[in-house]
Amino acid sequence: MIELRTPAEIDRMHDAGRFVASVLEATAAASVVGANLLDIDKLAHDMIRKAGAESCYIDYHPSFGGSKFGKVICTSVNDAALHGLPFDYRLRDGDVLSLDFAASLGGWVTDSAITITVGTPREEDLRLIDVTSRALDAGIAAATVGNRIGDISAAIGEVAHAAGFSVNTDFGGHGVGRTMHGDPHIPNDGRPGRGLPLRAGLVFAIEPWFMLGTDRIYTDPDGWTLRSADGSRAAHFEHTVAVTENGPLVLTARK
């Protein structure tokens, strides 16, 4: 079911969004050469407890997950595109790391993701990150009253295709509010003018993710981590966005 949020509810979601943004800022800053993914997860877990928030991930067990996730943040390294399950791994110079985090604060959920390089970056990784970030910006800019879901999808896909990337549409943006995942689904490619009309009060996560060499993925033996089929690196960006009469409002904006 798709619900419209009141301005007061969007204000409360904005509080949750600021918390999610603060966790991503802290975990990104901690993601240096030698940092262990399990310590990054612990940092996020400690911040959840201190804020009186609730994890959206730790007990999450959808049909595509091998078991309950068991951690509070997704840490996807290099060829891991999405849903990276933290494990005993120390970040190395030149790694690409995507951090994806959702939490509930005051009963409202927001969801966001960022991709960074660790240590000395590779030029092709910086380009991938830039394209994915710009695709998110394009999708957000299209989230205006009078447009449709397809306009968001088309804006994201246009950035990807212009850079020579193919797009996987199995996973994409989604409604968010009292729970982490809901309608509508927002593919990262599509045709403009199609799909649900955008109205003030709609709140959803927009999340482009691209891989350098393919649009195909497979599931790691951990039952969660989705990796590129050809071993190429991936990037992932996400914001929770409210559609308002004054334009899109990014609820998870980072400082």
pLDDT tens readout for residues 90-145? 999 999 999 999 999 999 999 999 999 999 999 999 999 999 999 999 999 999 99
pLDDT at 66: 84
ω before 184 within 30° of 0 (cis)? Answer: yes
Instruction: Please report the pLDDT score of residue 64 as a whole number.
Output: 85
Q: For domain 7-250, is the CATH number 3.40.1190.10? A: no
Nearest to 205 by CA among 1, 30, 17: 17
The structural domains of the chain, with segments of one domain joined by +, span 7-250
Give the separation between CA 85 and CA 66, rounded to whole angstroms.
Answer: 11
User: What integer pLDDT is reported at residue 34 of this predicted model?
Assistant: 98
What percentage of the chain reaches a pLDDT higher than 90?
Answer: 97
Tokens 């399990």 locate to 38
Q: How far apart are CA 94 and CA 97, in angstroms?
A: 10
- The candidate with the shortest Cα–Cα distance to 114, out of 18, 24, 225, is 24
Global confidence as pTM: 0.96
Indicate if the pLDDT at residue 62 is higher than 90: no
